[in-house]
Amino acid sequence: MHNKTALITGASSGFGLLTSITLAKRGWRVLATMRDLNRREKLETAARDAGVLDRIEFHALDITLAPQIAKIADLVAGRGEPLHALVNNAGFAVPGFADAVTDAELREQFDTNFFGTVAVTRALLPLMRRQGFGHVIVVTSISGRMGYPGVSSYAASKFALEGWTETLRFEMLPLGIQVVLVEPGSFETDIWTRNAKQTAGLRNPDAANATRVTRWRAKLAEGAKNRANPQVVADTIAGILENPKPKVRYVVGKNAKMGLLMRSLLPQGVFERMMIKMTGMDG
Ligand SMILES: NC(=O)c1ccc[n+]([C@@H]2O[C@H](COP(=O)([O-])OP(=O)(O)OC[C@H]3O[C@@H](n4cnc5c(N)ncnc54)[C@H](OP(=O)(O)O)[C@@H]3O)[C@@H](O)[C@H]2O)c1
């Protein structure tokens, strides 16, 4: 038992939920935040089953709402205890072809994945600076390292987060704060179903894109069989938080590692033809 405290965003499902349980089992106190407290039941049940419910606090936090961010920052500072870790996990995807996504859809994607994450981090950094220690994890994605057809908005938001976070790391390291990127490949969570916000362009594709959308959907469904168990991401995050000198980035999952390796090894033309075929973009 080490009584360290971590705040996690998006703790109602997926990586956020599993990380909350994993850290609590390892002795952490967890401030599990979620945008809708009515969705706490899944985490509550999992925590009760694991015998760690008393180590988890539930708090409301929609990372796009400035008043809620200010409130949680006050609450954390008011506890009079250190905050050892912030896990920026909340996020979602706006799938759709780049030429069919609307400006409003693209902005909505950035409001959560980029601006929301940045705002939460900036709100909690003053406390960590006063303490002179802390870990800040930012969950991006393999889509923050390479493009993938059909997810330009998501990839753009995660690429932006990569640049911001990598820079923040240089600025915070001398102050004792460890800033780390976690880049998962494809894992079985709600991001592909409940939390995939279908764009108008995907629901009603124009004639030029219709056939490709159908093929792209079929390829995604095929790929779904290879999605991995998300517990490995939670374990990776817990390991980083317990490492006093973590690396700048952690790629998690075989498919993410394989994608980056193939892009670096294959001639560009070969790699592009392979990606186009794999995702149904051809023809
Ligand atoms: N699963 C993958 O294959 C994969 C791969 C790479 C990266 N990621 C990243 O991993 C992170 C977690 O996603 P996941 O896969 O665990 O998916 P998930 O099961 O859909 O979980 C996403 C979480 O984010 C929350 N959320 C969404 N918008 C929010 C907002 N405005 N404020 C606060 N919370 C918000 C959701 O809340 P609700 O329950 O209320 O919807 C949910 O708790 C995301 O950043 C995602 O981009 C996932």
pLDDT tens digit string along 179-200? 999 999 999 999 988 888 889 8
For the domain that residue 35 is a member of, what is the CATH number? 3.40.50.720
Token pair of 62, please? Answer: 């929609």
- Asked if the structure places residue 246 within a domain, the reply is yes
Is residue 213 domain-resident?
A: no
For residue 99, CA distances in Å to 93, 105, 201, 273 come to 16, 12, 9, 20
Confirm whether 154 is a catalytic residue.
Answer: yes
Minimum CA distance residue for ligand 1 atom 11: 89
**Structure confidence at residue 1 (pLDDT):** 52
Condensed to tens digits (0 to 9), the pLDDT of residues 199-224 reads 988 888 887 889 999 999 999 899 88
For ligand 1, pick from 20, 111, 191, 249 the residue to mutate: most ligand atoms within 8 Å of CB: 191
- Could you tell me if 1 and 214 are in contact, meaning their C-beta atoms sit under 8 angstroms apart? no
- Sign of torsion, CA 143 144 145 150? positive
Answer yes or no: is 33 within a domain: yes
Nearest CA to ligand 1 atom 47: 91
Instruction: List, in order, residues 6 or more apart from 226 with CB less than 8 Å away.
Output: 186, 255
CA 259 to ligand 1 center in whole angstroms: 22
pLDDT (mean) for 259-265: 98
| Given 15, 97, 154, 216, the catalytic residue | 154
Decide if 217 is inside a domain.
no
Residue 262 maps to a domain: no
For the chain, the domain total comes to 1
The whole-model pTM stands at 0.97
96 close to 202: Cβ distance less than 8 angstroms: yes
Asked if the structure places residue 259 within a domain, the reply is no
Q: Is 141 within 8 Å of 184 (Cβ atoms)? A: yes
As for ligand 1, residues whose beta carbon falls within 6 Å of it are: 9-10, 12-16, 34-36, 39, 61-64, 89-92, 112, 116, 139, 141, 184, 186-187, 189-191, 195
Has residue 2 got a pLDDT over 80? no
So what's the pLDDT on residue 45?
A: 98
pLDDT at 192: 87
- Does a structural domain hold residue 280? no
User: How many Å lie between the centroid of ligand 1 and the Cα of residue 195?
Assistant: 7
With respect to residue 274, please indicate whether it lies within any of the assigned structural domains.
no
For residue 60, give every residue at least 6 positions away whose Cβ sits within 8 Å of its Cβ, in sequence order, or none.
33, 34, 35, 36, 37, 68
Nearest partner of 114 among 164, 184, 148, 69, judged by Cα? 164
| Helical pair 231-241 and 14-25, crossing angle rounded to 10 deg | 50
Q: Give the range of the structural domain holding residue 74, as residue numbers without chain letter.
A: 5-204+230-253
For residue 61, which atom of ligand 1 is closest to its CA? 33
